[in-house]
Amino acid sequence: MNCYESMSEEDYKRVFQKMEKLLLGIRSQSLLMNGNLEMLMKSIFGVACEKLGYGPFVMDKKFSSASQSKKGALIDLVGFDLVCRKAIPFEFKCTFAEDASSSKKAAKDAVKKATAYRKYAFPRVCPRIVHFLNTSDPSSCGPWPSIVRSKFPRSANQMSLDRLKRVYQGEKSACNKEKKLYFMHKFRNLKFCVLVTDFERK
């Protein structure tokens, strides 16, 4: 069985490739051009991991360490490594590249939440942050009437994976003493790309 804890860049690549196949199977013209896709993307991430031999996962559950039993942290997704008996927390974000300010704000929030995961729930495990960038432009080419397209963000200053990486590099977290690894992936047939921020112990 594969382990969440030891996921490499190639492992993430295989997961995202499996995600792409699953998402393409939905066959919807408009679904992936909508906002608020975080729940969908993390659900498909978990399913892709399971199909590739990783352990079970649970989403949106509150966990707490023995020393922080009253506080705890609500965690986006926790993958369970049944062989090595470890639980690995993941924080997810999904934002439009067209909305650079919201993407930057989401990245800062992700680091804040990941720090809470480490502080209140899993003190011996570094969390992973998976941030999807939706590179579609529904404001100009969405399959809706113009009155709907006008509600989507549009900016000349788009967020790129490189810019997003720099935002994460600039944020302080409870994992600052660990080596940070950044994995980037662009979906081949979907207008999405993704940045994984993975914290490894030195």
Q: Tell me the mean pLDDT in the region 93-114.
A: 93
Tokens coding 55: 């352990």
- The whole-number pLDDT of residue 188 equals 95
Backbone conformation region of residue 78, classed left if phi is above 0, alpha if psi is from -120 to 50, else beta:
beta
Identify the band that residue 130 occupies on the pLDDT scale cut at 50, 70 and 90.
very high
What is each CA distance from 194 to 19, 112, 121, 157, in whole angstroms? 12, 19, 26, 18
Q: Which residues contact 85 (CB under 8 A, 6 or more apart)?
A: none
What is the tens place of the pLDDT at every residue in 22-54?
A: 999 998 888 988 888 999 999 999 999 999 999
**Which one is predicted more confidently, 150 or 116?**
116
Express each pLDDT in 65-103 by its tens digit: 866 667 778 999 999 998 878 899 999 999 999 899 999
**pLDDT tens for residues 136-181?**
887 777 676 777 777 777 777 889 999 999 999 887 665 555 567 8
Distance of alpha carbon 54 from alpha carbon 89, whole angstroms: 14
Predicted local distance difference test score (pLDDT) of residue 200: 62
What gap in Å lies between CA 21 and CA 169, rounded to an integer?
A: 31
By CB atoms closer than 10 A (0-12, 13-18, 19+), residue 105 is: middle
**pLDDT of 11 over the 90 cut:** yes
- What pLDDT does residue 175 have? 55
Structural domain boundaries in the chain: 9-23+33-200
Q: Contact at 8 Å (CB) between 133 and 97?
A: yes
- Angle of CA points 56, 72, 167, to nearest 5°: 80
- pLDDT higher than threshold 50 for residue 186: yes
pTM summary value? 0.91
CA 92, CA 128: separation in Å to the nearest integer?
9
Give yes or no for residue 7 having a pLDDT over 60: yes
How confident is residue 202, by pLDDT bands cut at 50, 70 and 90? very low
The dihedral through the CA atoms of 139, 160, 195, 174 has a sign that is: negative
